Structure 1
């Protein structure tokens, strides 16, 4: 035991002595009766949960509950055994207090009821923390502290954890400080998360703020709140962050050369938010990707296409490359369709039919008139271009083109307008057959 600090050894011996006293006190006749009462309460609570859980499920199924009410019902069902035990244990405490004025006759039952009640309250309040890891850290940390506090071992356990420490120069890091930092930081981060979520919902619901500015404000707010939570959580338990700042600066210089692309994407993301070149909901095309902006991230932009694919495009590509924003200044998009008709058809009638066909499609705007022009005289047809406008490119371009082409087909078919296709004639020049026969080849055989 020479490797153990004498102060630590003394603390362990003190805790062990108190544990021995506590367990020896449990074998007293009055304490055995109380333990029996606790076991009976637990058994009844377990059977009660088995009996009541299906009834709670039936009650929830037979009612139209909101998601929050349904979540509350599920949480209550999971903690049903604890709730029943608490009711039975405190009822037993009340009966024992009426039977005997001595507190020692009900001490163990009071202790068990208090512990379970505190654990249940902590578990319910921890549901406010949405992150699973943070919730578990806070829940288990507070549960252990509550148990040690009511059992009378809190000061000794804190002293034991404080003696388990490492010292580097003037810096001392103990297990107690680490645990306090973990629990407190988890609580502060959870609070920051709750505040930012509520503020984010309000900012995005405000129509006076542009989407790109909303995303910028949200990102800055998240960085400030989460950074402040980490700083306050570490500083409040005695961590000296001066050395950490120097170390992070040195590491930052080393990593900067290897993370140039990452930093470039981060800076590009800030520029995109500031200049409002693209924003969530815009319809863009970059390279072969056509879709609408789903979200703006710190490193990439999420673009969702019509076929359900989600492309994560680095922010740097949107800054340095050519991007077509179909809805940058407004939602209006002009679409051009080309087609041809026979030389025997009246071009004036063709143009009129084409314009009427385009305007018969529901997505084509009436406020911006469609036009049709002759673009040239082709080899087998008179060539036209039909131009019309839409204001919902997010709904797709190929489908509206197909709808207009179908309307053109119906209109031309109903009015006798023909759509020609190229025809070719093959002529066999004189002497080619005799040449093939003279060379010994079969003129009917395929090549």
Structure 2
């Protein structure tokens, strides 16, 4: 009740209306400026890329609160010069600062992480924390609350861990990691747009930058909340030995991923065969490789397997790949005629190359017939070879049928050395 009476008495004072007028004028001018600048950014901002695009998006989010503050702060200084109370302007400035901080944090979060329900919850939590801090500041309770949180804690050796220091550590680590991921994403996008860096080098540099920035962010966050990094040396050494044994395979895959990236033996888009897995390299991650087969099924292959086992890279140096088509003909048919017909059918698929020239070979005399092989070349193994074989096989079958050449089926002769049993003679 007393607070309501105080506010009613406040609005009766002339300085209240002067403050309200300054706030309204600053907000109106900032809104007009924001509309003009937004139109300019919408006209030219869509064509920008890289750092210009990021700067454009950031300016759109910060323009209105920052311009309002830029107009309100000089007005506050003028009122203070004439010894006019500025309580209302202090409230407005605090709200604008909180709004600008929330917009910056949410923008960085969305740039550093993929949008998901956890990110949405993080945005809501962050906004709640900022608005709660502003409310406590306006009510004058913030110093008392911080003192209370700092008084609750426990001693660990020579250090004291309090609720306030724990909250500060969580916030600083989260902020540092978010900034590191945002900066790593920005640098990765810059590398992707660079014409002087190969795709494999882009992945390698992106992974190294991400790892380096996250490590630096963690160390900076610990130092910012007053944790002595020197005291963690012994603990870190023991932890490193334990992780070295427990995470040996993960570490091996991580290092193998860097080796694959740096020696450029396997790149995104390559066609490879690992064991019985054949497909296209979709992604090269820190721990595993994503290979997609013709059916669209993705297989995750640990990077270590690619280093320690045999890998066939169909597009490593030359993308020209030989495709063989095996056919058998009966012993009663003319093999030279069949070979000529197979040569005529070599270009049944438009994907077959004219250089190298197709060839036909007679391989062997099999049990059921004469084995022939047509050898053709294609330049796009990433599209598979099944369709090419199908077209050529169909053309050969039609040509053989028209020429009367038969494709044999397995035949066996049964020789009975002794006589048949008496029951089977009839």
8 Å CA contact 2:102, 2:130 repeated in 1: no
- Alpha-carbon distance between aligned partners in 2 of 1:227 and 1:138, rounded to the nearest angstrom: 23
TM-score by length of 2: 0.72
- Alpha-carbon distance between aligned partners in 1 of 2:143 and 2:332, rounded to the nearest angstrom: 103
Cα deviation, 1:355-395, whole Å, max 9, x if unaligned, reads 23222202222232111111123344322111111222222
Deviation at 1:112, TM superposition (A): 7.9
- Does 1:292 find its partner at 2:270? no
RMSD: 3.6
Pairing partner for 1:331 from 319, 323, 328? 319
Cα deviation, 1:34-56, whole Å, max 9, x if unaligned, reads 9xxxxxxxxxxxxxxxxxxxxxx
Aligned twin of 1:254: 242
8 Å CA contact 1:342, 1:381 repeated in 2: yes
Deviation at 1:24, TM superposition (A): 4.1
How many residues are treated as equivalent by the alignment? Answer: 354
8 Å CA contact 2:362, 2:370 repeated in 1: yes
- Alpha-carbon distance between aligned partners in 2 of 1:258 and 1:115, rounded to the nearest angstrom: 50
Give the 5 Å matches for 1:51-90. none
- Alpha-carbon distance between aligned partners in 2 of 1:349 and 1:431, rounded to the nearest angstrom: 44
Cα deviation, 1:385-443, whole Å, max 9, x if unaligned, reads 111112222222333322321222233234443322234455777841xx333xxxx77
Pairing partner for 1:153 from 141, 157, 162? 141
Name which of structure 1's ranges 161-170 and 238-247 shifts more when overlaid on structure 2: 161-170
Pairing partner for 1:214 from 170, 188, 202? 202
8 Å CA contact 2:273, 2:313 repeated in 1: yes
Distance of aligned partners of 1:218 and 1:394 in 2 relative to their CA distance in 1, 3 Å threshold: same
TM-score by length of 1: 0.69
- Alpha-carbon distance between aligned partners in 2 of 1:406 and 1:33, rounded to the nearest angstrom: 92
Pairing partner for 2:371 from 383, 387, 410? 383
Pairing partner for 2:4 from 26, 29, 47? 26
8 Å CA contact 1:171, 1:240 repeated in 2: no
Distance of aligned partners of 1:443 and 1:206 in 2 relative to their CA distance in 1, 3 Å threshold: farther
The structure with the larger Rg is 1
Pairing partner for 1:263 from 251, 258, 269? 251
Deviation at 1:222, TM superposition (A): 0.4
8 Å CA contact 1:283, 1:293 repeated in 2: yes
Aligned twin of 2:127: 139
SS at match of 1:313: strand
SS at match of 1:293: strand
Give the 5 Å matches for 1:273-352. 273-352=261-340
- Alpha-carbon distance between aligned partners in 1 of 2:377 and 2:223, rounded to the nearest angstrom: 60
8 Å CA contact 2:95, 2:134 repeated in 1: no
Deviation at 1:260, TM superposition (A): 2.4
Deviation at 1:33, TM superposition (A): 9.8
- Alpha-carbon distance between aligned partners in 1 of 2:242 and 2:368, rounded to the nearest angstrom: 68
- Alpha-carbon distance between aligned partners in 2 of 1:348 and 1:111, rounded to the nearest angstrom: 98
- Alpha-carbon distance between aligned partners in 2 of 1:368 and 1:351, rounded to the nearest angstrom: 18
- Does 1:245 find its partner at 2:233? yes
Q: Which runs of 5+ in 2 are unaligned?
A: 13-45, 47-64, 66-83, 114-118
Aligned twin of 2:31: none
Deviation at 1:272, TM superposition (A): 2.1
Distance of aligned partners of 1:285 and 1:406 in 2 relative to their CA distance in 1, 3 Å threshold: same
SS at match of 1:362: coil
Deviation at 1:249, TM superposition (A): 1.2
Deviation at 1:238, TM superposition (A): 1.5
Aligned twin of 2:342: 354
SS at match of 2:149: helix
Aligned twin of 1:6: none
8 Å CA contact 2:252, 2:304 repeated in 1: yes
